[in-house]
Amino acid sequence: MAYELNLPTAASVPQETVASYVTATYAAARQFLDNPPLRLHLGCGTVRLPGWVNIDVDDGPDLQLDLRFGLPFPDACVDLIHTEHMLEHMCLSDGKLLMAEAYRVLRPGGTMRVGVPDLQRIVQRYAAPDWRDQAWIKDRNFDWIDTPVALINTSFRGWEHLYLYDETELRLRLWQAGFADVRRVASGESSHPDLKGLETRPETDLIVEVVK
Ligand SMILES: C[S@@+](CC[C@H](N)C(=O)[O-])C[C@H]1O[C@@H](n2cnc3c(N)ncnc32)[C@H](O)[C@@H]1O
């Protein structure tokens, strides 16, 4: 399958490789099914949430998974999903697959919280006279970003970003995955007690919760 922006995608991996990978990951994930509630933290990086299954493609967390190949869990067995600053590291087709997988594995009434950088805010900053006035540029030694064009190119291409979302796009893709109920929420805030205070990055400025 050709990807619309010609970016690397899981669809380019041979089917036999995918089949053996999926079989192995289902076996590895089985250990977590006996201890409900099941909470998945996708693309955890170095962040470890106690009581959650921390998942990343890199070695070290509770479960090492390449999320481009979906979630190796049965239907309707997951209570909560949280992911911060991960979805933009997937191309659109892989991101759509992951959203559909999240819908499949969540129990009815289960909730997913998704936090990403907001493309609308990035574009606003690009166009603003004070575009440089951003905490992450100052705090993380990005002083080589010396023009608005360098800023926006970095946002799209830096950190292995593959696809950025604004609220409309994120809502649409989640709706296409099956989530009818999409709510934008503030950083750290949730009506669900287990989803409060999870964000670790000030630049996570587009956060939604979806309920299956
Ligand atoms: C910017 S880091 C965010 C880490 C953490 N959530 C945080 O906010 O500090 C993105 C993470 O997504 C992970 N990631 C990217 N693509 C992935 C994939 N296909 N499957 C699993 N994890 C992936 C990376 O390994 C990395 O740890």
Q: What is the pLDDT of residues 80-126, one digit of tens each?
A: 999 999 999 999 999 999 999 999 999 999 999 999 999 999 999 99
Report the first-to-last Cα separation within the chain, whole angstroms.
29
Q: What pLDDT score was predicted for residue 1?
A: 41
Rounded CA gap, 208 and 176, in Å?
15
Which residue(s) pair with 39 in the sheet? 80
- Best residue among 81, 86, 91, 116 to mutate for probing ligand 1's pocket (most ligand atoms within 8 Å of CB) is 86
Higher pLDDT, 63 or 1: 63
Q: pLDDT tens digits, residue range 162-196?
A: 999 999 999 999 999 999 999 999 999 999 999 99
Please state the pTM of the whole predicted model.
0.93
Domains contained in the chain, CATH given? 10-211 (3.40.50)
Q: If you measure from the C-alpha of residue 82 to the centroid of ligand 1, how many angstroms do you get, rounded to a whole number?
A: 12
Rounded CA gap, 80 and 125, in Å?
33
3-state SS, residue 114: strand
Q: Does the C-beta of 86 come closer than 6 Å to ligand 1?
A: yes
Q: What angle do CA 80, 208, 86 make, to 5 degrees?
A: 75
Higher pLDDT, 132 or 90: 90
Higher pLDDT, 35 or 135: 35
- The answer to whether 41 and 52 have CB atoms below 8 angstroms apart is yes
Q: If you measure from the C-alpha of residue 129 to the centroid of ligand 1, how many angstroms do you get, rounded to a whole number?
A: 32
Closest by Cα among 50, 18, 94, 79 to 198: 50
Q: What pLDDT score was predicted for residue 2?
A: 42
Task: For the chain, give the mean pLDDT.
Answer: 92
Percent of the chain whose predicted confidence (pLDDT) is above 90? 78
Rounded CA gap, 193 and 112, in Å?
13
Q: What pLDDT score was predicted for residue 5?
A: 52
83 CA: nearest ligand 1 atom: 6
Q: Does the C-beta of 88 come closer than 6 Å to ligand 1?
A: no
3-state SS, residue 83: strand
E-assigned strand segments in 29-69: 39-42, 53-56, 63-64
Q: What pLDDT score was predicted for residue 7?
A: 53
3-state SS, residue 82: strand
- Residue whose CA is closest, atom 4 of ligand 1? 45
The size of the chain, in residues, is 212
